[in-house]
Structure 1
Amino acid sequence: MNILFAGTPQPSAKILEILSQDRDINIVGAITKADKAQKRGKKLEESPVSALCNKLNIKTFKPESLNSEEFKTEMMGINFDFLVVAAYGKILPNWFLNCANIMSINVHYSLLPKYRGASPIQSSLLNGDAITGITFMKISEGLDEGEVIKQFELKINDTHNKVLLENDLCNLAGSKINKLLNEIKNNKFQLTEQDNGAATYCKKINKLDSRINFLESANEIFNKYRAYYEWPGLSFEHKNIIIKIKGMYIKDAINDEHTSKKYNLKRDGIYVKTNDNMIVITHLQFPNKNVISASDAFNAYKDFFEN
């Protein structure tokens, strides 16, 4: 089978690597986002998919425009059975989707039609879901509206954050995709229309989502910590200083001795009252400083947290 891949971040690279290890699969190329400038300096940084392609000697395409004549000519000259898309980051035009000899497939990290859009993993954590999963779907022009080929569930546990859950979902997708492609090739599959009436959509995550004020419930704050673990993180403001939360857990505040004030700094954590309970911050980071433990904060910032 000839596969053309489209993806950008590290989880996408993992799926591409799994596909490349199948002797029956020939990766004819990979489309990924263009190299971007690093935060400091002018050096360009390639995507994880691009880096893997260099390692595996796979041809890469980094079009600025998917509708440019140059890109169209390149794609028309490639013979591929499947287009496999995993978090590429751009909406693919219809002319391109029709280039695949057999089918264009997307790997989506939710049980569609739930959480259409760009942040399904964060959304499942924000909402405290117990179950999520992956959807293999035939790509259509609408946003994640294509017919479902197959779905696989995954339980979410309390230790899952965005990074860990994404890794588990990626491993699940990687363990299923080769067999799925063979089933489609041999016409042993069935397409199922999505229920558009049951569809929900993800919001776009931005940097402002990181800020909390402890007026929410402890569960809501903890779910934000898990969802925003990779980016943008979780932070709060105290005495006009933005402090990042780098480790935390929920503690039952009933009859707790630490509820007398908003911030109660102890050697084992910063105890913070929420609107219904308490969280304990175990690790934190001040601006332009390294991450420190609550014990270090107790020694260096005890007066700072006195109300």
Structure 2
Amino acid sequence: MSDSLRIIFAGTPDFAARHLDALLSSGHEVVGVFTQPDRPAGRGNKLTPSPVKVLAEQHSIPVFQPKSLRPEENQAMVQALNADVMVVVAYGLILPQPVLSMPRLGCINVHGSLLPLWRGAAPIQRALWAGDSETGVTIMQMDVGLDTGAMLHKISCPILPQDTSATLYDKLAELGPRGLLETLEQLADGSAVAETQNDALATYAEKLSKEEARLNWQLSAEQLERCIRAFNPWPVSYFIVDEQPVKVWKAEVIAKAHGSQPGTIIQADKHGIQVATADGILNIQELQPAGKKVMGAQDLLNSRREWFVPGNTLD
């Protein structure tokens, strides 16, 4: 490989930890790790370190957990590490201009989309919901904008009909580290070429909310099926029946006319619960009532058949 780089890594969730793990095996020197402060988690609300912090401490790497990088004393933490480059993956804090300029080669970010498509917080989910045929990762030179920096490297992968956000997450968590290491090689030997993004082609991936996970039967069956896959594993699509929320984990599209109002139950049997939509029928196959485990349609019908009488409507 080219010369070893002194790297600051900034990231928080498991997706970021997978990139840090690749760096630790690469021959580059990770001189410090920035991650979000420990957060309450679990039933006991116990303060829990991020996956990135856990991995960094296993390798005895200095860990910094400022609540913000705007104060000058926190920026001084970055400056003191004298890094060649700062790698940012799902960190969760804004990097102000002084920090972006501190490393010799600046700051680079791994983003889970093919920029300029799906800038923002939820690129994997939004690509799925939109029905895109492919996605990927982009490694970019960071600037002060929201995922607007010049692109250094892209790797694409197809979005398959059965993909969920969970499966795409795993695919991109494999592609990202590979693309990151290739980009660092190019930065180290001076061969990296930065491509300016075309802002006219940009789309925005807004953060997901639990409210938009509620199934809207005024959409088509295709749109709803994509929504279900996009919101798996969080926040999980759901409908209301008998004033009870029921999560939907898996469904399929039945492309046929039905003549019923959207939300009307067409049929319910061991093959699924068929619901009329604005265009086509959604056949719900795996569900989860509140406080229960995920189950097939027949299992739920065995205990709650009165919920799914043909002709009744779901909210």
Q: Distance in 1 between matches of 2:182 and 2:148?
A: 23
Residue from 145, 148, 168 that aligns with 2:148: 145
Alignment of 1:144-183 (within 5 A): 144-183=147-186
Alignment of 1:76-115 (within 5 A): 76-115=79-118
Aligned equivalent of 1:289: 292
Aligned equivalent of 1:20: 24
Give the letter aligned to residue 200 of structure 1: T
Aligned equivalent of 1:273: 276
Q: Distance in 1 between matches of 2:45 and 2:219?
A: 41
Alignment of 1:114-133 (within 5 A): 114-133=117-136
Q: Distance in 2 between matches of 1:54 and 1:177?
A: 22
Gaps of 5+ in 1: none
Deviation at 1:264, TM superposition (A): 2.4
Q: Distance in 1 between matches of 2:61 and 2:171?
A: 25
1:304 aligned counterpart, secondary structure? helix
Q: Distance in 1 between matches of 2:153 and 2:268?
A: 50
Deviation at 1:263, TM superposition (A): 5.0
Hey, which bits of structure 1, 4+ residues long, moved more than 3 A?
Answer: 252-255
1:101-143 deviations in whole A, cap 9, x for unaligned? Answer: 2221011111211111111111110110002121111100111
Alignment of 1:21-60 (within 5 A): 21-23=25-27, 25-60=28-63
Given that residues 265 and 273 in structure 2 are in contact (C-alpha distance below 8 angstroms), is that contact kept between their aligned partners in structure 1? no
Distance 1:213 1:112, change over 3 A: closer
Give the letter aligned to residue 9 of structure 1: P
Given that residues 117 and 203 in structure 1 are in contact (C-alpha distance below 8 angstroms), is that contact kept between their aligned partners in structure 2? yes
Given that residues 8 and 33 in structure 1 are in contact (C-alpha distance below 8 angstroms), is that contact kept between their aligned partners in structure 2? yes
Given that residues 301 and 308 in structure 2 are in contact (C-alpha distance below 8 angstroms), is that contact kept between their aligned partners in structure 1? no
1:226 aligned counterpart, secondary structure? helix
Q: Distance in 2 between matches of 1:168 and 1:42?
A: 31
Q: Do residues 9 (structure 1) and 51 (structure 2) align?
A: no
Deviation at 1:44, TM superposition (A): 1.0
1:230 aligned counterpart, secondary structure? coil
TM-score, structure 1 as length reference? 0.93
Q: Distance in 2 between matches of 1:292 and 1:268?
A: 13
CA RMSD of aligned residues (A): 2.0
Aligned equivalent of 1:221: 224
Aligned equivalent of 1:211: 214
Deviation at 1:235, TM superposition (A): 0.2
Q: Do residues 186 (structure 1) and 189 (structure 2) align?
A: yes
Q: Distance in 2 between matches of 1:299 and 1:115?
A: 42
Q: Distance in 2 between matches of 1:72 and 1:134?
A: 28
Q: Distance in 1 between matches of 2:275 and 2:124?
A: 27
Q: Distance in 2 between matches of 1:21 and 1:231?
A: 31
TM-score, structure 2 as length reference? 0.91
Q: Distance in 2 between matches of 1:280 and 1:58?
A: 50
Residue identity over aligned pairs, in percent, reads 33
Q: Distance in 1 between matches of 2:45 and 2:200?
A: 47
Aligned residues: 304
Gaps of 5+ in 2: none
